[in-house]
Structure 1
Amino acid sequence: MSTLRERNRKAAHTEIRDTAIRLFMDQGFENTTIEQIAAAVGMSPRTFFRYFATKEDIVVGDLVGLGEVVLSALQARPPQEGPWEAMVAALAALADAPETPRHALETALLTTANPSLRARHLEKHVRWQELLVPEIERRMGIEPDPVPDPRAHAIVGACLTCLDTAMEIWARRNGEGTLEEIYLEAFTAIRS
C-alpha cells in the first residue's frame, strides 16, 4: 500500500505530464518552456525539477521502466521458444502498458516530430539493449561475457528497430490501426 506522500507525488507527476503534453501539442515542443509548464500547474520551475530532470523526460522519461516490463515479459516466455519469437512476444507486452491509446499516440507524435525527443528516445533504447541482450544470450545458450554476443545484440536491435518503425508509421497514420499490428508487420518483413 502506497503512502499518502507517494500518492500525492504520483498525482502531481501525472498532472505535470498531462499539462505539459497539452501545451506541447498546442504550442509545439520547442516553443513550450519549463516556466510555462510550471506556471500552468501552479509551481515554481525549481519544484518542476523535483519531478522531471528535463523537458524531454516528460515525454520519454518512463521508457526505462517500460524496458523492465519487456524484460519481465521476455523472462516469462517458455524456455523452448526461440529468441526471435520470445522477443516479439515480449515487445507485444507493451500493448498491455497502462498508458491510454491517446497518451501513446501523443508520445509517438511528439517523439517522431522532434529531433531532441527522438534522440532521447533512442538513448533510452540503448538501455533496453543492455537489459535484454543478456536474456537473449541466455536463451541462445551463450555463456555470459562482458562483450555482448553480436547475434543476440542484432536480434534485440532488429526488434527495437521494428518497434521504432511501427511507432513512426502509427504516428504518421495518426493512430489508425494498432501499434502492435504495425510492429508485427515490420517484424514479419525482417524475418521473411
Structure 2
Amino acid sequence: MTGTSPLAERLDRRRDAATRAIERAAVALFAERGFDRVSVDDVAVAAGISQRTFFRYFASKDDILLGYRRRLDVRLLAALADRPPAEGPVTALRNAFLATSTVPAENREDVLLRARATAAAPALHVRSRGERSAGTAAIAAVLAERMRADPDDRRARVIATAMSAVATAEWEAWVAGDGTGDPATQIAAALHLVEQGLGVLDRPDPAGEGS
C-alpha cells in the first residue's frame, strides 16, 4: 500500500502552518528593523515560541528568507520537468519561469517584504544570488535530458544561464520598483527579447554541433 497516511498529512500541515507563522513574524521584524538588527531571540519572542522551538524549523534566521527562494527553485525544476515533450528547451523553460514567477495580488506585499529584506542585507543577498547561480546547473541538466543530449551539452548551459540571469534581473527590478503588477509580466517581456536570439535552439541540430 502506498501513499501518505492521514496522520502524516495532518502533521505536515501543522508543521507548514507553524513554519509560515514564524516566517510572518520574522519578516515583519526584518521590514521594521532590518535583517541584521534582528536576532533569533527576537524572532522567537515575536512568534511566541522558544529559541529551541525556532531551531526545530530553521537552521538559522537566514533560512527564513532564503527558504522562499529555495521553494521557488524546487517548483521551477518541477514545472520544467512537467512541460509537454513537444516544447523546445527555450519554450519549456520560459513557460516554467512564468508559471513559477506569478505572484497573486493578495500575496505581493508579503513577497515584496521578503525580497526587499534579502536585498537590504548584503551578505544574505550575495548568498542568495550564489545559490541561484549554482542552481542553473540543475536547470541545464533537465534541459539536456529534454534535448536528449549529453548532460554537459553547451546548448543546455547557454539556455539555462542566459534565461535564468534575465529572469533574476527582472525579478530584482520588480522588487526594487513600486511593487505593482505581476512580476511574471516583466519576466515574460524580457524573456521574449532573449528568445528572439535563442529561439533557433528550439530546432533540432542536424549537424550535431551543439556541444
Report the TM-score when normalising by structure 1: 0.86
User: How large is the RMSD of aligned CA atoms in angstroms?
Assistant: 2.2
CA distance in 2, matches of 1:3, 1:75: 25
Structure 1 range deviating more: 42-51 or 19-28: 42-51
Tell me which residue corresponds to 1:57. Answer: 63
CA distance in structure 1 between the aligned counterparts of 2:154 and 2:69, rounded to whole angstroms: 24
State yes or no: 1:162 paired with 2:169.
no
Q: Tell me if the contact between 1:129 and 1:156 (Cα under 8 Å) persists in the aligned partners.
A: yes
Query: Could you tell me whether the CA contact under 8 Å between 1:24 and 1:32 is conserved in 2?
Result: yes
* Ranges in structure 2 where 5+ consecutive residues have no aligned partner: 1-5, 197-211
Count of residue correspondences: 189
Percent identity (aligned): 32
- 1:65-104 aligned at under 5 Å gives the runs 65-95=71-101, 100-104=107-111
The structural deviation recorded for 1:169 is 0.9
In structure 2, do the counterparts of structure 1 residues 87 and 3 end up closer, same or farther at CA, with 3 Å as the change threshold? closer
Contact 2:144-2:153 within 8 A present in 1 as well = yes
Q: Distance in 2 between matches of 1:80 and 1:8?
A: 40
Residue type of the alignment partner of 2:114: T
Larger RCO (alpha carbons 8 Å, 6+ apart): 2
Show structure 1 runs of 4+ deviating over 6 A: none
Query: How far off its partner does 1:180 sit?
Result: 0.7
Following superposition of structure 1 onto structure 2, how do residues 117-128 of structure 1 map, counting pairs within 5 Å?
117-126=124-133, 128=135
In 1, distance between residues paired with 2:96 and 2:12?
29
Work out whether 1:37 is the aligned partner of 2:26.
no
Alignment of 1:103-142 (within 5 A): 103-126=110-133, 128-142=135-149
Query: Which whole-Å CA distance do the structure 2 matches of 1:107 and 1:135 have between them?
Result: 28
Q: How far does the alpha carbon of each residue in 1:7-34 deviate from its partner, in whole angstroms, 9 at most, with x for none?
A: 3322221111000000000111111111
Task: Specify the SS of the correspondent of 2:117.
Answer: helix
Does the aligned pair in 1 maintain the 2:40–2:61 contact within 8 Å?
Answer: yes
Q: Residue 10 of structure 1 aligns with which residue?
A: 16
Q: Is the 8 A contact 1:64 1:127 kept in 2?
A: no
Identify which range, 179-188 or 83-92, moves more after superposition.
179-188
Give unpaired runs (5+ residues) of structure 1.
Answer: none
For the 8 Å contact 1:64–1:128, the answer to whether it is kept is no
- Is residue 44–residue 50 contact of structure 2 (8 Å, CA) maintained in 1? yes
Cα deviation, 1:51-94, whole Å, max 9, x if unaligned, reads 11121210121433322321222122222322111111011111
Distance in 1 separating the partners of 2:10 and 2:93? 38
Aligned counterparts of 2:80 and 2:117: Cα–Cα separation in 1: 28
Q: Distance in 2 between matches of 1:118 and 1:174?
A: 20
